[in-house]
Structure formats: structure tokens, C-alpha cells
Amino acid sequence: MRLLSVLLSAVLVLTPAPAAEGYEVGVGIGDITGSPAEVGMLGYADPAQTTAGLASRQWARAFLVQDAGGRRVAFVSAEVDFITQAVHTEVLRRLGPPYDVSNLVLTATHTHSGPGGFDEHILYNLTTLGFEAQTFEALVAGIVRAVEEAEAGLAPGTVKIAEGTLTGANVNRSLPAFEANPAADRAKFPGAVDTRMSVLRFERGGVPVGLLSFFATHGTSMRPDNHLISADNKGYAAHVVESRHDGLVAAFAQTNAGDMSPNLRNGGAQGPTDDQFENTRIIGQLQADRAEELFDGATEELTGPIDARGRYVDFSDVAVGEHHTCPGALGQNFTAGAEDGPGPDIVDEGDLTTNPLLLVAGIVVNPTPPAVRACQAPKDVFLGSGSQHPPWTPQIMTLQLLRIGQLAISTAPGEFTIVAGQRVREAVDAQLAGVTTHQILAGYANAYAGYVTTPEEYDRQHYEGAATHFGRYTGPAYEQELARLAAALRAGEPTPSTAGPASYPQNRISVRPGVVLDTPPLGKSFGSVLVEPAASYRPGAAVEVAFVTGHPNNNLHTEGTYLEVQRLDGDAWTTVATDSDWQATYEWKREYLGVSTATITWTVPGDARAGTYRIMHRGDAKGVTGAIKPFTGTSRPFTIIR
């Protein structure tokens, strides 16, 4: 009897616990719009590109799934260029348990038209001229609100998955590097593009509440000469879907978009038209329409355990077989920029000749030890960003693997080219064969460490290779480390970190003076109308009204608006559009000293009702005592005729 009891006990220990059945799901959205005026924008690395109003607000969208055993994962898609370690660390601190480095992922849509200055690493704040506390707080607080809203709405539900393809929404902007890969790799991507789209459908009580799409294309439909905050093509896609479905939260996340551009002409240099706003609409509409098709046709339900693994990895020295990664560094060809964001005419992509000017400049500004230069070969180092004290770019990266039933989502803080991303998926899939049947790689996650290319692409030293921070074996290191997380998840083993991200509060400095004083011009008051609308308009026409205003950084109007388009219904005015609507833009201009104007433009939608309308501006002005007071301005009425 004792032997039988021992055998039975052993069987019970070795037999896995049954998978918890049934999910709870929650979705949430939060306004993360940063400073709309006189703050450096992040993405094109041009100090002259500063914010001057809104083409759209920026949003964070959260998707939360929990199984019956209480195991939970949360995925956030934020309409910013990238997530920084400072943001990730602060969001985790504010949310607290049960969130940690394994089960909460923060990703970025990678728009290049948002305010920057929300990191503690010097390189990413250089072109924005420092840290911007207001933008940092807006981003962190908005993400937290989105997650908390998702938590509050947790209820029994389902998650379904659908996969398909989308053509005509991206091109490969780095063909010479792509073509350096083996034929077997290239054959997986006809046309040298990744056309895959994955869509998750979140339902509660059979009612759809969330759409989460993954597709690879850059957030560069808006050009470097744009000064209006814009969520770019993925933000427009979200706007289209959410405007069609009342109460639905729709996010358009990134995958391996490192060499995927939405600019379809001249190898990624130009959008499908010469109008950047129309280009944003075209690429966004394509994603929205295809995602909705997949969403409507989703039938495969994700079932089984919820699980997650995550850890911090020091990428300055990861052993990959007989090779190693290196402390972070940017190559001279990094200064050339990409096709859809070219840099100064100093070097050309792929030029392996040392440029003496950049060599000397790099040595003076950011010296790099000889061992690091040797490790980074064939990259000709311009900036040794990881060799400084403190480092100019992060070295300790967050890696995660989320499991939702038969779906695995790998996350990493880089811009993976399509072949580098595919190799990661295959490495993870090799560990999870028989456990999961769907693989997604979510880049731009939790921090930012530049590009990730294959070793073959790295050797060509185009922009993407020159911006691959940790050397030739960066890609293989991500493959190895994410595969290790997958193996640990499969085995039910923990994944402790041996390092953690450092905090550099001393780098939270800015050279911008901030708002000093607002004054109206002589004979005018705040809210005075300078340009009135015409008497009437037809659908498709642009209504333009200008007001005397205060500095918009006085009040971000978070979860609110700087403008309202109102229609007269009976005796009352009804708001029909705000600055959350892509048909309305808010442009701010400093005229001189403390005098500024706000120009509000509303493009009349095709389905606008005939009737009487007006435009209202909501602003705030800072007086000589420092007190900030709100004001409103209202245009004269005009009519929409059909």
C-alpha cells in the first residue's frame, strides 16, 4: 500500500495541472497627448521640427486578458515614436502588482509626429533639446488610465484571432541590405515586403469591445516638415474603426517594421501622393479596412492558459556562441538617415569609407574605446552611445513572451527588419511547437534600442545596420534570448533577471524656457475672432477661423479639447467635432512676444447635416502673476448646405 501511495503521489506531481478555462477581458483608452507647442518632435531627429498644434490627439489603448486562475497579461499600444525605459519604469511603479516586467507590455505605433523629451537617456533628448516633464507626465498618466479602465471593465469574454495579408501599404526602403540575406530568407517575403496582418477580436458577452491589429509599416506618412501632432497612419486607422463602431477600442500595433515604409514611391522616399495628410489617410484606410475584414471574419477562439515570461538582459555583452554583442554604438551611415527621413548630405548609406569629419566629431563629442570599435566592425562608429557614463542609450533591455492560449507574442525594444523579425519568430516557434500555433513579434516595446538587422544586412551598413546598436550579432542575440524565454515558459520555469534598468534623473533637464507670459494684441482680448468663417459651405470644403489665444502648453486639455464644432439643434448648440476628430486641426502660432493665434480648420464631412454651425475655441492664458485662466472664443454662425 505504501508503494502504491508513493507511485500515485509521483503521478500527481508529474501530471500538469489542468488548464484554467474561460477568460475575462477588458479594454481601455487614455489620452496621452503631449505639449502641442514649441517642443521638439521625436522621430526625424530635426531640432527645427517643433510642435505647433494638433492634427490629431494621441491615445494609449490597453487590452487585458485574465484566465480563471487569475493569470493576467496586459498589452498597451501607444501612439508615440517609441516607449522609453523611464516611461516603462514609471508606469510599472504607478500600477504596482500584479504588473511586472513579464506581464505588462507597452508598445509604440512609431509615429514620427509627436512631441519628444520623455526619456532619461541623452541621445533621445538631444534633438528635442532636453527632457519635457509635461509630455512625460501626459504619456505616463494616459497609459495608466488606459490600463485602469481595462481593469475596471474586466468581465467574462473571449479573444479570437484572424490572420491574413495586406498589400499596397508598405515597401522595402532598404532593398540592398535585404538582398544580402540568403535566398531562403528572401523567398519568405515576395516583393521584399511583409504583408502579414494579425487581428485579435475581444468580446464580452458576445459583444465586440476591442480590436488589436499587428502590421508592419512605419509611422512616416507625415513628413519632417510637419509641425502638427499626428498619430500618423496607424492613428488614422484606429480613428476610422472606432468611428464606425461605438464603444469599440481599436489599436494598430507594430511588428517588424524596421525596413517597411508607407511611402510607396521611390523606394520609400515619397508617399503615394504629394499630400502628407492624404498619404496618412490612404495608408491608414488600407489598414483599417483590412483589419475590419479579418475582425468580422474571426472565428478561431484562443483557449488555454494565460502565461508570461520576462526579464532584463544586458545587451552590451551577450554571448552568442563564440561571438558577443557590444556596448551600444551608432555608425557613420546612421547620419545618412533613411529614405523617408534623410539626414544631411555627409555620407551615403552603405558607404564603408571612413568619413574624417564624422570620425573627429565623434571622438570629440562621444569617444569610443578601440575595443568597442573593433567589436562593432564593419560598422564605422560615429557615436559610442553605450560607452559613456552614464550611457547615452539604454544597454539593459526588457524582453517578454506572452501566451494567450495558442498565441505567443514576443516583445523586444527594437525596430526589426522583416528577416530579422522572422528569425526571431522561428526561434520562438521552435521552442513552443505543439504549445502555440500563432506567433507575433511586437517591436518598439518597453524601451528603445534602435534597429535590429541580420548579420548579413548589418555588413551592408545601410541606415538600419548603422543604427543596430549592439553590433553584428544583435539579431542573433534577440533570437537566442527570446527562445530562452520560450523554453522557460514551456517548462514552467522562472526567468530571473541578473540586471535591471538604471535611472538617470540628473538627465531630466531642458533648455526651453517654457511659457513666460501671454498677452493679447492691442484692442483685442483672449478669444477674439481674427478671421471669421464665410456665410456658407458645402461638404468637402474647409472652414477656417482664427482666434487670439494663449499658449496651449498652459493646459493640455487632457481628455478634453481645444476646439468644438457645434451645430444648432433647436435652441441648443450640439458639439459635432472636437480636436479628437481628424477632420479638425488646431494650429498655433506665436506672432510676437506673448501674442499668439490659434487657427482652427474643419473640413466639412461628406455626411454633415445641413444646418447652422459655429466654431468654438477653448484656451488658457498665463498672466503676469503666473496665474493661468481659461477663456473661450466663438465664431459667428455659418451654414452647411447640400
Residues of the chain with CATH 2.60.40.2300: 529-640
Contact, 315 vs 396, CB < 8 A? yes
The DSSP secondary structure of 321-390, one letter per residue, reads: TTEE--S--EEGGGGGEETTEE--TT--TT--S--HHHHHHHHHHS---HHHHHHHTTS-EEE-TTSSSS
**Cis amide prior to 378 (ω within 30 degrees):** yes
* Domain 529-640 homologous superfamily, CATH: Neutral/alkaline non-lysosomal ceramidase, C-terminal domain (2.60.40.2300)
Q: What is the pLDDT of residues 522-558, one digit of tens each?
A: 999 999 999 999 999 999 999 999 999 999 999 999 9
pLDDT beyond 70 at 7: no
pLDDT of residue 21: 64
Q: What is the pLDDT of residues 567-581, one digit of tens each?
A: 999 999 999 999 999
Which of the pair, 88 or 357, is modelled with greater confidence?
Answer: 88
Give the lowest-confidence range in 15-24, 196-205, 283-292. 15-24
pLDDT beyond 50 at 11: no
- How far, in Å, are 87, 235, 246, 478 from residue 204 at the CA level? 30, 24, 15, 36
Average the pLDDT over 172-201 and give the result.
98
DSSP class of 575: E
> In terms of Cα–Cα distance, which of 33, 44, 87, 112 is closest to 552?
33
Percent of the chain clearing pLDDT 90 (strictly above): 90
pLDDT beyond 50 at 1: no
The catalytic residue positions are: 261
pLDDT of residue 4: 34
pLDDT of residue 3: 35
pLDDT of residue 513: 85
The DSSP secondary structure of 7-29, one letter per residue, reads: HHHHHHHHSPPPPPP-EEEEEEE
The DSSP secondary structure of 27-62, one letter per residue, reads: EEEEE-----EEEEEESS--TT-EEEEESS--EEEE
pLDDT of residue 256: 98
Render the burial of 223-248: b for 16+ CB within 10 Å, e for the rest.
bbebbbbbbbbbbbbbbbbbeeeeeb
pLDDT of residue 388: 92
pLDDT beyond 80 at 364: no
Q: What is the pLDDT of residues 461-477, one digit of tens each?
A: 999 999 999 999 999 99
pLDDT of residue 17: 37
pLDDT of residue 585: 98
Give the lowest-confidence range in 118-127, 348-357, 380-389, 559-568. 348-357
Structure confidence at residue 592 as a pLDDT band (50, 70, 90)? very high
Rounded to whole angstroms, how far apart are CA atoms 537 and 604?
8
Percent of the chain clearing pLDDT 70 (strictly above): 96
Average the pLDDT over 346-365 and give the result.
75
pLDDT of residue 155: 97
With H, G, I as helix, E, B as strand and everything else as coil, classify residue 491: helix
Rounded to whole angstroms, how far apart are CA atoms 344 and 336?
6
pLDDT beyond 90 at 366: no
> In terms of Cα–Cα distance, which of 459, 449, 476 is closest to 379?
459
